[in-house]
Amino acid sequence: MRTLPELLVPAKSAVIVVDVQNDFCSPEGALGPTGAAMAMIPNLQRLLAGARAAGAPVIFIQTIHEDATDSEAWISRSDGKVASCCRKNTWGSEFTEVAPLPDEPVVIKHRYSAFVNTRLDSVLRTLKVETLVMTGVSTNVCVESTARLGYMLDYHIVFLSDCTAAYSEAEHEGALYNIRNHFGIVTTAGDVMAVWNEKTALAPA
C-alpha cells in the first residue's frame, strides 16, 4: 500500500464532503440530536482551509430528495423514518457550518453513495483526481458507501476518523474497521494537513 505522502499529492487528492447538512447534523434537523456530527465540524473546517491552501480540490456532496426520486423501496427504508430528510428547497437540505466556494463543485445525490446516478466520477476524472479524502456523515452509511464504490472504481481512499461522524460510536468504529481492513487508510485531519504543509513548503517558489 502507498504511504500517505504518496497518496496525498494535493492536485490529485480531493476532499469529499458528504452530507454535512442540517437534517443530518443540526440538533434541529429531521434526525434529531447529533452531537457527534456537530463536534467534528471544527476539524472539517480546519481541513478545508488546509486543502484550499495546498491546492487540493474540494467537492461537496449534497443529498436532495423529492417525489421524482422517491421510489417505494427508497422511502420505505428505516420504516419510513427518514423519508422527510433533505427535501428539495428546504432548510434541512442546506449545508451546516461549511459551504463550497464559488468555484468548488457540488454534486447532488439521491442515494447513499455519491457515485450512484451522479456526475461525481466525471468531475473527478476531469480533475485527474486519484485519491479521495473522505469526510462527512454518516460514517457508516453515506460516507462509507461512497468510499466503497470509489475504491471499486480504482480511487485510493483516505478516510478521516475525526472528520466523519455517525449516530453511535459503535457504528462509527465499525465503519472505520471496514475501511481500514478492506478499502483504504484511516487517519486524521492533522496527519493529512501535515503532509500537505510539508509538500507546500518544499514546492518551488
Which residues participate in catalysis according to the annotation?
19, 109, 142
Place of cell 453511535: 168
Upstream peptide bond of 138 is cis (omega within 30 degrees of 0)? yes
Per-position DSSP letters for 167-203, written without gaps between them = SSHHHHHHHHHHIIIII-EEE-HHHHHHHHHHHHHHS
**Are the C-beta atoms of 40 and 164 separated by less than 8 Å?**
yes
**Are the C-beta atoms of 21 and 63 separated by less than 8 Å?**
yes
Q: Spell out the alpha helix ranges (H) of 26-155.
A: 35-54, 72-75, 120-127, 144-152
Place of cell 466525471: 122
CA pair distance 6, 15, nearest whole angstrom: 16
